[in-house]
Structure 1
Amino acid sequence: MTANRISARRRLSATFFTFASLLALASVPATAETDTDEDVAATDTTADDTAAADQGSYGGDILVTARRRAETAQDVPIAISVVGGDQIDNTGSFNVGRLQQLAPALQYYSSNPRNSAVNIRGIGAPFGLTNDGIEQGVGIYVDDVYYARVASSTFDFLDVAQIEVLRGPQGTLYGKNTTAGAINITTNQPTFDFEGKAELSIGNLNFKQAKTAVSGPLSDTLAARIAVSATSRRGTIYNVTTDRWIQSQDNIGLRGQLLWRPTDNLDVTLTGDWNRQDAVCCGSVFVRTGATQRPLNRQFAALAAAQGYAFPSTNPYDRLTDLDANLNAGNEIGGVALRVKWDIGPGTLTSITAWRYWDWQPENDRDFTGLPVVTKSQNPSQQNQYTQELRYNVSSERFDFVLGGFAFYQRIDTQGTEGHGPASSRWTINPSNPLSQDPSVLDGLTAINTQYLKNTSLALFGQLSWKVSDRFSIQPGLRLNYDKKDGYYQRLVVAGDGSPVTRDLTDPVSAARLAVFNPQEYAPSFSDWNFSYDLTATWKPTSGILLYATYAKTFKSGGINQNGVPNGADGNPLLAAATIKPESVQHYEAGAKAEFWDRRGTFNLSIFRTDIKNYQANVNNGQFGVLRGYLANTGKVRTQGVEADFSIRPSERFRAYANGAYTDAKYVRFVDAPCPPELSGGADSPPNCDISGQRLPGVSKWAFSFGAEANAPARLLDQAGEVYLGYDGSYRSNFSSNASASAYTWIDGYALSNFRAGFRTEAGLDIFAWVRNAFDKNYIDQLFVGPGNTGLITGLPGDPRTWGGTIKTRF
């Protein structure tokens, strides 16, 4: 066990020892008497706020807290998708990745937990390898606590009440600035009535999942809630080299909460959570090869033949790989948060103090083959973040407002080791060079990377809603932000015999090694002030219709390159590339929300356009270890489109929904972009390409989600209830899986269908069978361009058909 892992365990132990001690001290005998009406009315307001969210996309009176106060989703002048806890369970959407099947405007892609990104409307984070030196454009919040990295939010949803996906800038309402949107996750809160629930699922691929939560009083003023979840599943790709299934799931999560309510106007909630993912992950399979501008003897077919190599299958849906390096995706996250809600004066003061940590322990195979070319690729990372948010909300007959302050500090330390093996010389060095026949030239060549990031952010924000009349209101918002980032990057290179590799281009062996790994050291720094604002006008022509229009001028903070930068002609780092300018964002949106048929149906429509100058894009380098990717500013990006949400519930026996999004997201101007593989690798290949007008990666023009459920009265085991049949489907059109669109990396559109059938009672028993990807659709989640411009394209197939059964009960 490494020192870093031991440190993380100690932090975890200390966290839960503190939490357990507080529980023990608070555990005075609770009264056995029934709660009074006043006690029942005093259950936690956050739980009450989300109590109506059971139907999620199915409509109904869904309460949300998008504007930091409880109101129905139809009264909020924001494009918002709401997914209730029951719908999450029923559709198997137990993490952020699967949430995109229910929210068409959401895009998620991941090659492993660290290299994960969430975008809304095609923007948020650059497509490709993660760089810690920039912010996420989509903010992820769990019970008001900001999660700085998508990697630390890839956990299973644990005891979730509902999830709100807010589209468009949200910086004047949320602690951290978010230019593309926010995912607001609300968990179930402690209650002063005893309650509990349990859930068990089993399925094919050895799928097993168990969840439980218990809540209740410890005294007249103390209540506690604890929830546990565990998920395991065999992998979906078979590794013939190691005789193991990879892409498995092995997750466990724990959340404990303690609520102290000394008076009716004060709530203090202490929360601790811990999550561990320990999958055999992550790999890929062969998809295709494509011609590049490299000489033929340096393209994949010739290089593989020279070493007598062939993939175990050229059909990606055989789900076979032969990766020979160790694979691991250990991911441990946890933290403690203290939330205070105090009704004081005319409003409510809310304080959220939180500490979170993330411990990432990966091992990868970066050559994507079964040859010992790259034999080690490990970049373990440890993150600690501290946040403090203060908000004061006031609601009155004519005015509602929120004023807030936010402070954020983050420290990330990363230690990287990348090494080459005995097959590297013949694969990497030009075959015309005699050194290509000498395995010892690159065998054991190792780069040792050390880096850290210190990230500080301070903000003041506020939003006012002025009800000019009973039908018309205006809502201005302001934000003042300060960001500072200090980093350090060092790469040391040693040969197989342990001797350091220095910049000696006169020595052929040294030159061959420097073409793979180049020593580098620099310390980038960035700081800046930004001011942003927005204005929304809302009009209600009738009681069932809301019209709104929004303009926002905002930004995404500048950043630093934490994974290395290009070297200049003198061999030194190009420090001008070490920092990245802030994105400048202008956002326009108009929408309509309508309820009809005696509120049995809802229809929402929004149109939007977002223009971004100095868009932060990921620039990929084709060589093995010189520089896998760095960040740079493009000229301009634009995303625009139309979104519609429809739900109907004519009776208690039937309900249905259909949501759709058309998204036109493209580079308006990007004249010095990295070239796609087919234009790369040759002596006369262009150093960069103009991809202005091309579509942004990772986003489909068309995306839909739709579903329905019907039920009928029935009895089972002498229990009165209802039988039901449900369907949830989704469709996404094709999208590019490379930062610069390539003929080799377009992923075809696909549709997925999920079914469930079961029996449930009002008392809380629910038994159902389910099948996901019911028609066993073959599709690709993500494609990867192999290193070295050899023309190799590998990919990650989506999950095959899975099926199983679930039993849930409440008590």
Structure 2
Amino acid sequence: MKTMWKAMLLAGAAWSAASASAYAQDVPAGDATVDEVVITARRREENLKDVPVAVSAVSEQALERQGGVDITILQQITPNATVQVARGSNSTLISFIRGIGQQDPLWGFEPGVGLYIDDVYVARPQAAVLDVFDVQRVEVLRGPQGTLYGRNTIGGAIKYVTKELSAEPQLSLKGAYGSYNQVDLIASGSVPIGDQFAIGAAVAKYDRDGFGENLTTGAEHYNKDMIAARVSAEWRPTEALSFRLAGDWVRDDSNPRHGYREVQALNSAGVPIAGGAPLGDVYDTKAGVGDDNQVETKGLSLTAAWDINDQLTFKSITAYREGETTTVIDFDGLPAAILDIPGYYADDQFSQEFQLTYTGDRVQGVAGIYYFDGHAEGAFDTILSQAGIVIGTGGAVDTKSIAAFADVSIDFTDRFKASIGGRWTRDEKEGSVYRANFLGATRSPLLGGTPRAPLLVRSDYTNENTFEEFTPRVSLSFELTEDLTTYVSYSKGFKSGGFDMRGDVILTPATVNGYDPETVDSYEIGLKGSLYDGRITFATDFFKAEYKDQQVTTQVPSGASIASFVDNVGSSEMWGWEFEGRARFTDNFSVGATLGYIDAQFNEFFRFYPAGATNPLDGSVVPVGGVTLNIASMAKLQNTPEWTMNYNATWTFDDVAGGTLSLTPSASFRDDSQMFEFAAPAIDQEGYWLYDFNANWVAPGGNWKVSLTGKNITDERYRIGGYNFPQSAGVLFGNSVVGFYGNPATWTLGIEWKL
């Protein structure tokens, strides 16, 4: 079956490539040709065709045609990308690009894909599942972006670009009603005050009943209760000087998500627990830990730009962000506190960036310095009723980072260009970890439980470390024609080291030393442009990456505790191919396709096995002194399907009830993927298709729009996350193997009015 799917995908890829030479088309309404799309992937405005980077630029119109409600739609329409809601959460973001990312959102851990709101780096993933409103476009930069975007962009970067204020008054009102009593209300607008000043604001309220129910408490499960707002003010006192003040706020009061039990619950003796069988509906739960959940984040930024002359522009970006989360996750999914995890997170960050951009006839470039000061803290309990204890864990990590960067492009001829850049980064980190066992299966004093002395202190340490890295980038590009550009590039990225906030000194004494950074060397060759006067647009690339000193988080039950450790386990290698294209067959019919293929393999995966353990490679008993083994043959990169694909088509019909009607069906495919580095058949996700549909009717003059959107219209059940604590790993954890699921079939009817 899998071979058949691959054959179909290859056939589709061949058809897509063939269409570039067999058909001619105009671009869909609302889109621009690849040489007209302006992006800021290299921190300066450039046409998409001229940027030697694999980047997807998704406009607001394209997001609407795909029925995108939040940025997780990027997972369906971007090659080799995983962009989804983190397990056990409603609005925490998990991202992987080309096999590189970070699944664990715990404070102190760094992402592998950087998220930016405009030019401001968002350090923490909580409330980072940004809803699509007040957005101009989203840029997805694939591959390491260490030169211009810094550390923690070794997989790539996602840039959420908000709308600029208009010189004319604007007002937009949107409303939508859909399945499960979904009600979305969005209002946005801006108004100029004189010739030099303008203000704008947008607010969105999202409500929806749950897809399932907590059968223990009666609460909605997988519901949505969120409000978000953005405000901005722009002042241009002179033609050469401008200021933009922007603020954003998000509050998520949706109920917590508890996992769906995939296997029968067992007690410490291995006997089935009554009522512990998997439920009939994957969106239901029997969790008893409660329904309290709240996430709140806010940010403020000031961007100042000064055009010194026709060639030089100086820019300052000052930003502050903070957030707080209180939540509960019931890993066992049962009324008893077999494996319950209440917790909280809090963070704040300050950043300052100065940029100097030069634009000459033959030379263009940007240089700057960047400073970041961040604090992240939290605490969580592991409540184990079968052991009669709670393991309390708390701590904090402080990060101070400074960087200097430059990137220069030289046009040797009108067609041949080169770009070279580099970034030096220095991170100073201080981590504090406290972990202790407390008697009684109730909340620990760390989370406001009954004050009591610890039964056993497992960790209580503070340590610090400094990490430095230079990340270069070089590229060569050549315009084959006025409309086609090919390029080759090399880039390096690194993700900072740190300290394991779950570190257990008793089980893993070396955890106090922390873990080292990881690096990626990436090589890429690409071709992008348009054919037939821009009627066909496409971009394609081949890449190879060498991933070293990989940080892998492992949690292994050990008696009445959980041994958590972050190892720099070794290295891996990945190579692949990506294609994005769009073609119009007639003036009223167009098709688009994105395809991604990746072959990702561990070369080294080292793990220490103590004396008496079973050697997983040959089944022998590990001798005295223990042994470190390379178990790369047993491991696989998580959240990295071999194939990803999206097909979509748009039919446009004029003079339908006096307006214009467009219909866009789409289909997306994700190949088999694992939740963790080692296979967990009960929760690993097999390949699946999702089918969506969108219809838009725009009234004459464009003031009114009515839309109908169907998502996952075949009601596919697919997992987007999971936890794996099987009975074989620890008898006190209730055989808790749980999955978290993507949304079921939904239909939404929307209406929009614009001034």
CA distance in 2, matches of 1:182, 1:398: 28
Residue identity opposite 1:119 in structure 2: F
Q: 2: CA distance between counterparts of 1:215 and 1:356?
A: 24
What SS does the aligned partner of 1:270 have? Answer: strand
- State the secondary structure of the residue aligned to 2:377: strand
Whether the aligned pair in 1 keeps the contact of 2:263 and 2:278 (CA below 8 Å) is no
Per-residue deviation, 1:660? 0.4
Contact preservation (8 Å) 1:783, 1:793: yes
Partner of 1:695: 636
Is the contact made by 2:478 and 2:485 (CA closer than 8 Å) also made in structure 1? yes
Deviations 1:299-319 (CA, angstroms, capped at 9, x unpaired): 838857465343362x4x453
Deviation at 1:652, TM superposition (A): 4.4
Contact 1:770-1:805 at 8 Å conserved across structures: yes
Counterpart mapping for 1:402-551 below 5 A: 402-421=366-385, 424-425=386-387, 442=388, 445-496=389-440, 519-551=458-490
Cα root mean square deviation, aligned: 3.1
**Normalising to structure 2: TM-score of the pair?**
0.87
* Residue of structure 2 equivalent to 1:310: 276
Conserved in 1, the CA contact under 8 Å of 2:219 and 2:291? no
Distance 1:312-1:482 versus aligned 2 partners, 3 A rule? closer
Task: Classify 1:648/1:84 alpha carbon distance in 2 versus 1 (closer, same or farther; 3 Å).
Answer: same
Instruction: Quote the residue 2:698 is aligned against.
Output: 760
Quote how far apart the aligned CAs of 1:275 are: 0.6
State the SS of the aligned residue for 1:87.
helix
Q: 1:154 to 1:624 in 2, by over 3 A?
A: farther
The CA distance in 2 between the partners of 1:484 and 1:359, in whole Å, is: 23
Structure ranking higher in helix proportion: 1
Deviations 1:759-788 (A, max 9, x none): 113423211222111111222222321365
Distance, in Å, in 1 between the alignment partners of 2:37 and 2:632 is 42
CA distance in 2, matches of 1:278, 1:578: 38
Q: 1:199 to 1:304 in 2, by over 3 A?
A: farther
Whole-Å separation in 1 of the counterparts to 2:198 and 2:594: 39
Aligned length: 706
1:617 aligns with 2:552: yes
Paired residues of 1:59 and 1:648 also in contact (CA < 8 A): no
Q: State whether structure 2 residue 326 is matched by structure 1 residue 361.
A: yes
Q: Are the counterparts in 1 of residues 256 and 292 from structure 2 also a CA contact under 8 Å?
A: yes
Write out per-residue CA displacement over residues 469-501 of structure 1, whole angstroms, 9 at most, x where no aligned residue: 111011001111100110111124332399999
1:59/1:601 contact within 8 Å kept: no
How much has 1:97 moved relative to structure 2?
2.4
- Distance, in Å, in 2 between the alignment partners of 1:636 and 1:235 is 42
Look up the match of 1:565.
Answer: 504
8 Å CA contact 1:191, 1:225 repeated in 2: no
Q: How is 1:625-640 mapped onto 2 (pairs within 5 angstroms)?
A: 626-627=561-562, 629-640=564-575
**Structure 1 residues 53 and 708, CA, compared in 2 at 3 Å: closer, same or farther?**
closer
Deviation at 1:412, TM superposition (A): 1.4
Of the three residues 738, 742, 762, the one matched with 2:680 is 742
Q: Deviations over 1:332-371 (max 9, x none)?
A: 0001100001111322111110000011111121333333
Tell whether the 8 Å contact from 1:776 to 1:800 is kept in structure 2 after alignment: yes
Structure 1 residues 613 and 318: alpha-carbon distance in aligned structure 2, compared to 1, 3 A threshold: closer
Q: Percent identity?
A: 26
Helix, strand or coil: the match of 2:606?
coil
Q: 1:459 offset after TM fit, Å?
A: 0.2
Residue in 2 aligned with 1:185? 160
Q: Pick from 513, 516, 524: which aligns with 1:581? A: 516
CA contact 2:505–2:511 (8 Å) conserved in 1 = no
Q: Counterpart in 2 of 1:805?
A: 749
Describe the shift of the 1:56–1:715 C-alpha distance in structure 2 as closer, same or farther (beyond 3 A): closer
**Any gaps of 5 or more consecutive residues in structure 1?**
1-51, 290-298, 426-441, 502-512
Instruction: Determine the structure 1 residue equivalent to 2:594.
Output: 659
| Distance apart, 1:654 and its partner CA | 2.2
Indicate how the Cα distance of structure 1 residues 625 and 563 shifts in structure 2: closer, same or farther if over 3 A, else same: farther
State whether residues 589 and 606 of structure 1, in contact with CA within 8 Å, keep that contact through their aligned partners in structure 2. Answer: yes
| 1:396 lines up with 2:360 in the alignment | yes
Q: Which residue of 2 aligns with 1:510?
A: none
Residue 650 of structure 2: aligned partner: 709
Moved more, 110-119 or 553-562: 110-119
The worse-fitting range, judged by mean Cα deviation, of 301-310 and 663-672 is: 301-310
Alpha-carbon separation, structure 2, partners of 1:238 and 1:674: 43
Q: Residues 226-375 of structure 1: matches in 2 within 5 Å?
A: 226-288=201-263, 300=266, 303=269, 305=271, 307-311=273-277, 313=279, 315=280, 317=281, 319-345=283-309, 346-374=311-339
SS in 1 for 2:486: strand
Give the corresponding residue for 1:144: 119
Taking a change above 3 Å as real, the CA distance of residues 635 and 644 of structure 1, as seen in their structure-2 partners, is: same
Contact 1:323 1:368 in 2 (8 A): yes
CA distance in 2, matches of 1:379, 1:139: 25
Match of 2:173 among 183, 198, 203: 198
Q: Distance in 1 between matches of 2:504 and 2:572?
A: 23
Aligned to 1:82: 57
Tell me, yes or no, if the aligned pair for 1:102 and 1:705 is still in contact at 8 Å: yes
2:578 alignment counterpart: 643
Structure 1 distance, partners of 2:723, 2:594, is 30
The verdict on how the C-alpha distance between 1:280 and 1:131 changes in structure 2, with shifts beyond 3 A counting, is closer
Aligned to 2:709: 770
Are residues 566 and 113 of structure 1, via their aligned partners in 2, closer, same or farther at CA, if it must alter by over 3 Å? farther
Structure-to-structure mapping, 1:106-185, within 5 angstroms: 106-109=81-84, 110-111=86-87, 112=89, 116-125=93-102, 127=103, 129-174=104-149, 176=151, 178-185=153-160
Change (3 A) 1:382 1:576: closer
**Matched AA of 1:726:** T
Q: Which amino acid aligns with 1:760?
A: V
Asked if 1:729 is matched to 2:667, the reply is yes
Which amino acid in structure 2 is aligned with residue 396 of structure 1? G
Residue matched to 1:555? 494
In 2 relative to 1, CA 329–118 (structure 1 residues): closer, same or farther, beyond 3 Å? farther
Residue range with higher mean Cα deviation, 753-762 or 528-537: 753-762
Q: 2:738 aligns with which of 748, 769, 794?
A: 794
Residue 611 (structure 1) shift = 0.6
Tell whether the 8 Å contact from 1:54 to 1:87 is kept in structure 2 after alignment. no
Structure of greater relative contact order (alpha carbons < 8 Å, 6+ residues apart): 2
Task: Tell me how far apart the structure 2 counterparts of residues 690 and 397 of structure 1 sit (CA, whole Å).
Answer: 54
Kindly provide the CA deviation profile for residues 203-242 of structure 1, in whole angstroms up to 9, marking residues without a partner as x. Answer: 0111111111111112221101100111111122322111
TM-score (normalised: structure 1): 0.82
- Return the alpha-carbon distance in structure 2 between the equivalents of residues 325 and 624 of structure 1: 22
How much has 1:115 moved relative to structure 2? 6.2
Aligned partners of 2:167, 2:614: CA distance in 1, in Å? Answer: 61
1:231, 1:249 within 8 Å by CA — same for their partners in 2? Answer: yes
Partner Cα distance (2:334, 2:204) in 1:
35
Checking the alignment, whether the CA contact within 8 Å between 1:373 and 1:420 is kept in structure 2 is: yes
Displacement of 1:58 in angstroms is 8.6
| Residue aligned with 2:307, SS | strand
Range 81-90 or range 347-356, more displaced: 81-90
Q: CA deviation at 1:743?
A: 3.6
Q: Is the 8 A contact 1:642 1:661 kept in 2?
A: yes
Bigger drift between 664-673 and 238-247 goes to 664-673
Determine the C-alpha separation between the residues in 2 that align with 1:53 and 1:774: 24
Q: Secondary structure at the match of 1:371?
A: coil
The structure that is strand-richer by fraction is 2
Counterpart secondary structure, 1:279: coil
